[in-house]
Structure 1
Amino acid sequence: MNIKISEYNLPIEKSGPYGITVGPDGAIWFTENAGNRIGRITTSGEFVEYPLPTKNAKPHAITSGKDGDLWFTEWGSNKIGRITPYGEITEYQIPTPVSEPHGLVLEPYGAIWFSEESDKIGQLVY
């Protein structure tokens, strides 16, 4: 088996890439925990970055939704975020204060499930 590994430097140094997923547009989308941004890279290596509206949101996990948008956790701001393939961002507050959401996943019927450090599992239905 012949394996090739390629690496791409992010535009912002020490941005702390964390979560990663394939978006509905075929590009790779990722969170920048320390950079407070959502990033997008094409298979040819072209980057676009989208700053989050909330300061110190610390985006963590990211997944594609049934609606063609991407959903992500904001560990530092206690929110779930949604970003369109065009970079429009909406944020949703989690009811439990300081829940520190981490991982998330899309269920087959479209709801977003996420884990919280507050010893809870959350569900966002849209």
Structure 2
Amino acid sequence: MGASGGHRHANLNTGAFDGDGVLWFTGQNGIYGRFDPAKGDVKVFQAPEGRGPYGITATPGGDVYFVSLAGSYLARIDRESGEAQVIEPPTSEQGARRVWSDSGGRLWIWEWNSGQVSMHDPQVGSWDAWRVPGDDPRVYAVYVDESDTV
């Protein structure tokens, strides 16, 4: 599944370390990948829906998720195989830009096109969303601190 090389214009965006110290990264031109510093090994994967991988995060349990700005989805990466499973948010074409995990492993997602902040709880499969104030809000990024304050 994975291959390195041949990705000159990947448009790398964001990185996050998983629970084993492996760096996972996204490239807006349709890739995501991992770098294992212990092995010096890089693997690159094609995103399941092409262009758009943008923000990426690891949960306290070490699970890795990324969002796609162009594809408007959330994906969970299987750390062993590298395969990404798409998780469709309830708001279509929302333009998921960034994702951050809180201490419970809930995923906070900033939606550029919809003007919302959403939260997905992978343990129960639930979604919540909140529209931010303003006439045409564009949420670029939000931070979840060590107290789970968004």
Match for residue 120 of structure 1? none
Equivalent residue pairs, number? 111
Q: Distance in 2 between matches of 1:65 and 1:71?
A: 7
Letter of the structure 1 residue corresponding to residue 104 of structure 2? D
Match for residue 116 of structure 1? none
Match for residue 26 of structure 2? none
**Which residue, out of 69, 75, 81, partners 2:118?**
81
Give 1:3 deviation, angstroms: 2.6
Match for residue 9 of structure 2? none
Q: Distance in 2 between matches of 1:25 and 1:75?
A: 27
Q: Distance in 2 between matches of 1:55 and 1:30?
A: 17
Q: Does 1:90 align with 2:128?
A: yes
Q: Does 1:20 align with 2:53?
A: no
Cα contact 1:61–1:102 (8 A) shared by 2: yes
Backbone CA RMSD of aligned residues: 1.8
Match for residue 111 of structure 1? 149
Q: Tell me whether 66-75 or 86-95 shows the greater mean CA deviation.
A: 86-95
Match for residue 86 of structure 2? 49
Letter of the structure 2 residue corresponding to residue 48 of structure 1? Q
Give 1:46 deviation, angstroms: 3.1
Q: Does 1:100 align with 2:126?
A: no
TM-score with structure 2 setting the length: 0.67
Give 1:18 deviation, angstroms: 0.2
* Structure 1 alignment gaps of length 5 or more: 113-126
Cα contact 2:96–2:109 (8 A) shared by 1: yes
Match for residue 66 of structure 1? 103
TM-score with structure 1 setting the length: 0.78
Give 1:94 deviation, angstroms: 0.8
Q: Residue deviations 1:58-93, cap 9 Å, x none?
A: 000110113331101000000001011244222111
**Which residue, out of 48, 55, 75, partners 1:11?**
48
Letter of the structure 2 residue corresponding to residue 71 of structure 1? W
Q: Percent identity?
A: 25
Cα contact 2:60–2:103 (8 A) shared by 1: no
